[in-house]
Amino acid sequence: MNFDSACYLLRFDDFCPTMSWPRWQPFQRLLEHYRIRPILAVIPHNEDASLMVDEPINGYWAHLRRLEAHGATIALHGFRHVCTAQGKGLIPLHADTEFAGVTEEQQVEWLRSGLEILRSHSLHPRLFVAPRHGFDDATLRALHAVDLPYLSDGLSHEPVRRGGVTWIPQQLWEPVEQSSGLWTICMHSNTATAAQFSRLERFLKLHAARFTNFDEICAHAKPVAPTISDNLYASAFLTRFRSRRIMQQIRRAPFSGVS
């Protein structure tokens, strides 16, 4: 598998029993129509009040089992999704996260407990997605300790191997046409607007054949070390991100999009 032509992967974050299922369903229908196999980032024990959008969904875990049976990849999305840690993460997009800066023992404990919860509902978590991109070297060691050596994050252009973990890059929050590389588009169905849905719909109409999935990447892509061009892209992205956030703070508008 090479990425001389662009390949895309879709990821949906913040699955928990109190997510909005009605907001998710149009996305589910769209993915089924185009036979897209997304990554679904599932919070095992949500305590983040901002994600308590609706009453707990009837049959939530059975819905997830069906989605996995139809080809979705289940990712472990943190543990409680409560972001009060302030360590410096390897992808420093946010000051407050759940994992970065927390002791390795605690991280192992959260990962183990989270995996147990998902597996107790007969799901098969395959990779880690850190809430707010917050993870550090201790997280990489903790992922090894619990035998989950894949994560979805990073600003490279193809899967890379760092700290003994395969990083499947995630660089987009909306579909944007690219010429080469592997691009993960991360979306949040709870908060996606009608315009964002339409943009995804139009993009899939044109590019559905260019979408890949986690299994295909694991089977065929050979993770490499990050290249100089990856590092340059990452530092340019972080600079743009910080400038945009400062401008938005000045205007007292909340930052939207990157989360």
Closest CB 41 distance from Zn ion, rounded Å: 6
Tokens of 87: 């360590």
Q: Is 250 exposed, middle or buried (0-12, 13-18, 19+ CB in 10 A)?
A: exposed
At its nearest, how many Å lie between Zn ion and the CB of residue 96?
A: 12
Distance CA 36, CA 45 (A): 27
Q: Based on CB atoms, which residue is closest to Zn ion, 7 or 16?
A: 16
Q: Which is nearer to Zn ion, 7 or 151 (CB)?
A: 151
Which segment (86-94, 128-136, 171-179, 226-234) binds Zn ion by CB under 5 A?
128-136
List the interface residues with Zn ion, window 7-26 (CB under 5 A).
13-14
Nearer to Zn ion, 7 or 75 (CB): 75
Smallest distance from Zn ion to CB 220, Å: 28
Q: In what order do the strands lie in the sheet with 182-187?
A: 160-162, 165-168, 150-152, 127-128, 73-76, 39-42, 7-15, 182-187
In angstroms, give the least distance from the CB of 81 to Zn ion. 6
Candidates 227, 214, 67; CA nearest to 150 is: 214
| Half-sphere exposure (Cβ direction) of 178: Cα atoms closer than 13 Å | 22
How far CA 86 is from CA of 62, 74, 99, 173, in Å, comes to 35, 27, 9, 24
Taking residues 190 to 229 in sequence order and writing x for each that binds Zn ion by CB under 5 A, - otherwise, the string is ----------------------------------------
Residue 16 or residue 67: which is nearer to Zn ion going by CB?
16
Give the shortest CB-230-to-Zn ion separation in angstroms. Answer: 24
Q: Write down the least CB distance from residue 136 to Zn ion, Å.
A: 17
Q: Minimum distance between the CB of residue 99 and Zn ion, rounded to whole angstroms? A: 12
If the CB atoms of residues 125 and 181 are measured against Zn ion, the closer one turns out to be: 125
Please report whether residue 114 would count as binding Zn ion according to CB under 5 A.
no
In the bound state with Zn ion, the residue whose beta carbon lies nearer, of 87 and 131, is: 131
Q: Report how many residues bind Zn ion under the rule CB under 5 A.
A: 3
Nearer to Zn ion, 28 or 189 (CB): 189
The piece of 18-26, 65-73, 126-134, 223-231 that touches Zn ion (CB under 5 A) is 126-134
131 binding Zn ion? (CB under 5 A): yes
98 touches Zn ion (CB under 5 A): no
Q: Please choose, from the candidates 199, 135, 205, the residue with its C-alpha nearest in 3D space to the C-alpha of residue 170.
A: 135
Kindly list the residues in this chain that would bind Zn ion in the complex (CB under 5 A).
Answer: 13-14, 131
